[in-house]
Amino acid sequence: MDSKNRLPLGVGSMSKFVLQWGGRAIALIFLVGIWWLPRPSFQVLLSPSLQRQVTLDPPQTVFTNDPRLCVHTRLTDEVEEWKIQETLRMVREMGAPTIVEFFAWAYIETAPEEYNWSHADRIVKHAQNQGLTIIARLGLVPTWVNEDTTDQIATLNLLPEEHFPTFAKFVGTFVERYQGQIEHIIIWNEPNLNFEWGNRPPDPIAYTELLKQAYLAAKAANPQVVVMNGALAPTLAPAGGLEGGWNDLDFLRRMYEAGAADYFDALAVHNYPFNMPPQSPPAPEVLNFRRIELWREIMREYGDEDKFIYITETGWNDHPRFQYSVTPHQRIAYTLAALEMLPANYPYVKTLCIWQFRLPAPTNSYPDYFTLVNVDFEPKPIYKALQDYAQAEQLSTSGH
């Protein structure tokens, strides 16, 4: 999940901003404390007799005016199967043909080479039934990898280099199992944030090595799979990780210098504009939607411009008291404007994935205001606006 903002600041106030920003790095974007909380074993608490019975729909097809429209779902945290089905049904009905979903290594490989695929299989089954393409993000370190470490927060993402082959083997196993069902994967998440690198300073060289090993394992299992880097979090924190993160532009350059170009097929990015409209001009010291152009410049510098960019997380927040929020009306207008900017200005952008479709439970805080659908499956106005945008022709034809 994420990282976020910069208000319009003059040069004189930038130093103060960077210091303030660095400490939080990008706590907003990925809702770090919420996303990574260990998941209780609710499935044990719900007996089969208490769970709603689920029947697959007839095979569905997504009708959309914009194949770039995508949402990030939170189904790894969802316990009840009917809620998985209803979430994916609503994604299809909105007109988004693609989802990003997190498949946690720790939840699947519960002991060395012992796998529990039941929950992942359930998500894949229902996504396929709804006609959706899955982009699978892989990560989250099992406890058995770091048995000697008692820091439960650090060990969520702490992967010692001697275990890079262990993770790569899992990636290969995952890709082999879902060949023909999942053809896009993301290796890790925001490796330029200290939290996402095991509460350590990020290391672009070490991450490139992890990416290399995972890429080779994935391609050995399925040569056609599209492998993406762990999307970088947009941040102005200086290089080195002393303020919670590492500037994404510099981190990407250092990945290229370490040879990363050979080990990803498309560039995954996280793009959080905070409260700035999507048309705001790009600049290295500004975090906004058009930062896309700066990432693309770096790709050109290293002769990598033939690759697509996948925006795997983006969005505006409309919490009434959140410092970096916008109004609900602005949220709709900015999101639609960003989508409409893509074909003419960014033909190399393959997806724009909105964070986040729905949460399994309310947080009673600003993360709830990133969602498109409430916990009880009530669509928000932005869902309706995106549905009108993506399915205008289909809805008019069906008489809705």
* 90-139: pLDDT as tens digits: 999 999 999 999 999 999 999 999 999 999 999 999 999 999 999 999 99
How far apart (Å, rounded) are the C-alpha atoms in residues 256 and 265? 13
Q: Does pLDDT of 2 surpass 90?
A: no
pLDDT band at 147 (very low <50, low <70, confident <90, very high): confident
pLDDT mean over 364-372: 97
- The larger pLDDT score, comparing residue 146 to residue 282, is at 282
Where residue 65 falls among pLDDT bands split at 50, 70, 90?
very high
The whole-number average pLDDT for the span 174-181 is 98
Q: Angle 318-320-325 (CA atoms, 0-180°, nearest 5)?
A: 45
Please tell me the predicted confidence (pLDDT) of residue 152: 60
Confidence of residue 11 (pLDDT cuts 50, 70, 90): very low
Q: Is 280 exposed, middle or buried (0-12, 13-18, 19+ CB in 10 A)?
A: middle
- What is residue 37's predicted lDDT score, i.e. its pLDDT? 41
SS3 assignment, position 260:
helix
- pLDDT class of 146 with cuts at 50, 70, 90: confident
Q: Is 391 helix (H, G, I), strand (E, B) or coil?
A: helix
Give the per-residue pLDDT at 392: 74
Q: What class has domain 64-398?
A: alpha beta
pLDDT of residue 50: 63
CA distance linking residue 91 with residue 379, whole number of Å: 11
> DSSP letters along 163-178, please?
GHHHHHHHHHHHHHHT
70 pLDDT above the threshold of 70: yes
* Predicted pLDDT of residue 399: 55
- State both tokens at 301: 């510098």
What local confidence, expressed as pLDDT, does residue 19 receive?
32
State residue 150's pLDDT score: 66
Least confident of 9-23, 210-224, 243-257: 9-23
| Band (400; pLDDT cuts 50, 70, 90) | low
Within 8 A by CB and 6+ apart from 264, the residues are 187, 211, 215, 227, 228, 229, 307
pLDDT at 48: 53
Could you tell me what percent of the chain has a pLDDT over 90? 82
Output the pLDDT for position 151: 64
Overall average pLDDT of the 29-43 stretch: 40
C-alpha span between 386 and 375 (Å, rounded): 18
Among 14, 40, 10, 12, smallest CA distance to 238 is for 14
Burial (CB count <10 Å: 0-12, 13-18, 19+), residue 347 = exposed
Return the pLDDT at 52: 87
Q: Which residue has the tokens 């974007």?
A: 29
Q: What percent of the chain has pLDDT over 70?
A: 84
Q: How confident is the model at residue 393 (pLDDT cuts 50, 70, 90)?
A: low
pTM, two decimal places: 0.89
Q: Is the pLDDT of residue 271 over 70?
A: yes
Strands 109-111 and 114-115: antiparallel
381-398 helix and 81-94 helix, angle to the nearest 10 degrees:
60
The answer on pLDDT for 188 being more than 70 is yes
Going through the chain in order, the beta strands assigned E by DSSP cover 69-72, 98-104, 109-111, 114-115, 133-139, 184-187, 226-229, 267-271, 309-314, 349-355
pLDDT of residue 10: 28
**What is the residue-averaged pLDDT of the chain?**
88
Lowest mean pLDDT among 71-85, 140-154, 180-194: 140-154
C-beta neighbour count of 19 within 10 angstroms: 12
Residue-level length of the chain = 400
The answer, yes or no, to whether residue 282 has pLDDT greater than 80, is yes
Identify the three-state secondary structure at position 298: helix
pLDDT at 40 over 90: no
C-alpha separations of 214 from 5, 64, 161 in Å: 31, 33, 13
Provide φ and ψ at 317, rounded to 5°. -110, 135
**Cβ within 8 Å of residue 153, ≥6 positions away:** 36, 199
Does residue 32 or residue 359 have the better pLDDT?
359
pLDDT of residue 35: 47
